Amino acid sequence: DYFARGLMKKILKKTLLLFLFFCLVFALYLFVVNVPQIEDTSWGVNFSQKQSKDLGLDWKEAYLALLDDLKVKKIKLITHWDLLEPEQDNYFFDDLDWQIKEARERDVQILLAIGMKTPRWPECHIPKWAEQKDKEGQQERITALLKEIVLRYKNEPSINMWQVENEPFVPFGVCPWVDKAFLKKEIELVKSLDDKNRKILISDSGEGSFWIVAANLGDIVGTTMYEKVWIHQIGAYFTYPYPPVFYGRKAQIIKKIFNKEVICVELQAEPWSPEQLVNTSIEKQDETMNLEKFQQNIEFAKKSGLKEFYLCGGEWWYWMKEKQDNPEIWDEAEKLFIQ
C-alpha cells in the first residue's frame, strides 16, 4: 500500500507538471509569439439604418457618404426584424432594397446580417407584435422572415455572404432565449433556399470564445475585436488584455481543425457607452474612442494576422463630421478605403 501510494503521488505530480507545461506552452503560443502580418488587408464597414437614425442622421445621406466619399467596397448591411416586419405578415423591404441597389450600382460587396439577433442595441430586434409570442411562436416567425429575405435576395449579385444571427451564443443584449438547435435549422434553411451556395458566417466573441461552436456550424467564422468596453454587471469600463496574436493564433487553430477562415466582422472604431451616443458627452466618448485610439486599433488589427475586417462605427464617424464639426476620424478612415 505504501509503495502504491508513493507511485500514485509520483504519477500525479508528473501529470500535473506536464499539464502546467502544456498550459505554459499554449499561453506562449496565444500571447507571445507574433503571427505573420498580412500585406493585402481588406477593409469594410458595418451599416445600420437604425443606428444612423438614432444618431439623428439622414440615414440615406450617411449611407451614400460611406459609399461615395469613403469609397467603401465591402459593407456589412445589418437588417432588423422590427424594421422588416413591423406588423405580422406585413413585410417592408423598401429601405433594404434601396441599400442593396445603391451598393450594387457601385460594385460594393455585401455581407448581409439576418435573423432575430443582429448588431446594434438591443441586439434582438423583436417587433412589438412578436414580443408576446412564446419561444416556439417566435421561432416560427423568424423562420418565415428568413425565408422572405433569402428568396427575395438570392439572385442579388452584390450579396456574397449571409451572416445568420449575431454572436448567437454570447449572453449580450435584450434577448429572450438562446437555442443552438434552432440556429442549426436557420442555417439549413438558408442553405436550402440559396441555390447560389453562398457561404454562411457565424459570429462569436473574439474576447470570450475560442470559436469552436461557430466554426462547427458556419462556413466562415466572424469575430469581434474590441479593446475597451462597458460591463453592465460591474458598472465600469474594462480593457481587454489580449495582444493581436491572441486572435491570429486562434484563427490558425480554427483553420487547422476545421479548415475554415476567420474574419473580423466588428472592429471597434466608435465609442462604447452605456447610453446612446447622442446622449453621451464628447468627453465621455473620448474615453473609448478618439483619433489616437482609432489609429491604434487599426494597427492592432493589422498585427493580428487576420486579413479581412469590417469596422464598426461608420455612422458615428459621419455624425462626428456633420453634427460635431470634427471630421478627423472620417478623414483617417478614408485612408483605409481610398488606395
- We report the CATH number of the domain holding residue 175 as 3.20.20.80
Q: Is the pLDDT of residue 201 over 90?
A: yes
CB neighbours (10 Å) of residue 232? 9
Give the tens place of pLDDT for each residue, 252-263.
999 999 999 999
Q: For residue 22, what pLDDT band results from cuts at 50, 70 and 90?
A: very low
35 touches 305 (CB < 8 A)? yes
Nearest-5° Cα angle at 251, 308 to 117? 70
Asked if residue 47 and residue 18 are part of one domain, the reply reads: no
- The answer to whether the beta carbons of residues 147 and 168 sit under 8 Å apart is no
Of the chain, the end-to-end C-alpha distance in Å amounts to 75
Distance of alpha carbon 288 from alpha carbon 251, whole angstroms: 26
What is the reported pLDDT for 20?
Answer: 47
* Number of structural domains found in the chain: 2
User: Domain containing 7: what range?
Assistant: 1-33
Distance CA 72, CA 91 (A): 29
Q: What is the pLDDT of residues 279-305, one digit of tens each?
A: 999 999 999 999 999 999 999 999 999
Q: Are residues 14 and 106 in the same domain?
A: no
61/124 same-domain check: yes
The answer to whether 62 touches 318, Cβ cutoff 8 Å, is yes
Same domain, 13 and 112: no
Give me the DSSP letters along 216-244: HH-SEEEEEE-SEEEETTTTEEEE----T
pLDDT tens for each residue of 316-335 = 999 999 999 999 999 999 99
User: Is 231 found in the same domain as 185?
Assistant: yes
CA distance 176 to 108: 34
State mean pLDDT over 44-66: 99
pTM of the model: 0.91
Mean pLDDT of 13-40: 58
Q: Could you tell me if 16 and 124 lie in one domain?
A: no
23 three-state secondary structure = helix
212: Cα within 13 Å, side-chain hemisphere: 1
Are both 172 and 148 inside the same structural domain?
Answer: yes
Q: Are residues 160 and 271 in the same domain?
A: yes
Residues 246 and 328 in one domain: yes
Kindly state whether residues 1 and 143 are assigned to the same domain.
no
Instruction: Read off the pLDDT of each residue in 45-57 and give the average, rounded to a whole number.
Output: 99
Identify whether residues 91 and 216 lie together within a single domain.
yes
Q: Is 132 exposed, middle or buried (0-12, 13-18, 19+ CB in 10 A)?
A: exposed
Residue 227 CB neighbour total at 10 angstroms: 19
Mean pLDDT, rounded, of the chain: 93
Give yes or no: residues 131 and 202 share one domain: yes
What's the pLDDT at 233? 83
Q: What is the pLDDT of residue 164?
A: 99
For the ranges 2-6, 232-236, 292-296, 332-336, the lowest mean pLDDT is seen at 2-6
**Cα angle, residue 146 at apex, residues 141 and 148 outer, rounded to 5°:** 95
